Amino acid sequence: MGKVIVVTSGKGGVGKTTSSAALGAALAQNGEKVVVVDFDVGLRNLDLVMGAERRVVYDLVNVIQGEAKLTQALIRDKRLESLYLLPASQTRDKDNLTADGVEKVIAALKKSFDWVICDSPAGIERGATLAMRHADIAIVVTNPEVSSVRDSDRIIGLLDSKTLKAENGERMEKHLLLTRYDPVRAERGDMLKVDDVLEILSIPLLGIIPESMDVLRASNLGSPVTLADGRSAPAVAYFDAVRRLRGETLAVAVPGEKRGFFGKFFGRKAA
């Protein structure tokens, strides 16, 4: 049985879709079988970020409405053969996403994939709550900025109350992914510090993704950043995040922070 991850944030534009694509690709690059599901019905973008926008035939709503089989709607990545995409519908209303339908699709995907990554829409409406509903693990994407941290806190509350895990009295595994981290602004003291965000949200840190031209470049080209340039700083950060997801213990490096010899050994505790 595969694991279901929801990539969520509350706030828009923080990097959910970029992170879903990058984490999905990085897992697939590690030999895992991965499907990334776009839950943003009406405003899909995962297909564009993953470079599959010209090949969308059917979508999640088609599958839920019984107009297409799941296998027909899945799009296999052209570069990684164990990476698949299930696009959202661009034209249908989001009311077409039914709780029953989503449950069936997720159950079927869990059977044939190691990882099912649900890319949540922004907000706390139907799309977002259905994306998180069946998750085993939640990745909360946050920018070091007040409104993003506030929205993440709200989402953490929903993860602990509105998910199946929460309703069954189980604990939802939550990880913080700090994105668009700008070392220069952090150095100037104009950005929330990593420790501040961690203290406020008090969930373990999965990784810090630096603000980078490489991310923009990768979406311009329609390629997850871990594939577009695997040696770039954000790609390395995503690869490390994936190692932590797979259970490795690995210190999280803060971009731009100079560490001494001892700092390397006694680094920040990872998720």
Partner 1 sequence: MNLRRFFSRSQSAPAARERLQVLLAHERASAGGSDLVTKLRDEILRVISKHMQIDDDKVTVRMERGPQVSTLAVDVEIPFDADKKAA
Q: Interface with partner 1 by CB under 8 A: which residues?
A: 48, 51, 53-58, 68-69, 71-72, 90-91, 216-217, 219-222, 229, 231-233
Nearer to partner 1, 69 or 154 (CB): 69
Q: How far is the CB of 231 from partner 1 (least distance, A)?
A: 8
Written as six digits, the tokens of 144 are 């070091």
Written as six digits, the tokens of 45 are 């973008």
Q: How far is the CB of 18 from partner 1 (least distance, A)?
A: 14
CB–CB of 113/2 below 8 Å?
yes
Report DSSP letters for 82-129, one per residue. Answer: TEEEEPPPSSS-GGG--HHHHHHHHHHHHHH-SEEEEEPPSSSSHHHH
Nearer to partner 1, 141 or 225 (CB): 225
CB–CB of 112/33 below 8 Å?
yes
Residues 6 or more apart in contact with residue 112 via CB below 8 angstroms: 2, 33
Q: How far is the CB of 43 from partner 1 (least distance, A)?
A: 12
User: What CA–CA distance (Å, rounded) separates 215 from 180?
Assistant: 10
CB–CB of 177/148 below 8 Å?
no
Q: How far is the CB of 87 from partner 1 (least distance, A)?
A: 12
Nearer to partner 1, 119 or 229 (CB): 229
Q: How far is the CB of 69 from partner 1 (least distance, A)?
A: 4
Nearer to partner 1, 148 or 223 (CB): 223
Nearer to partner 1, 146 or 216 (CB): 216
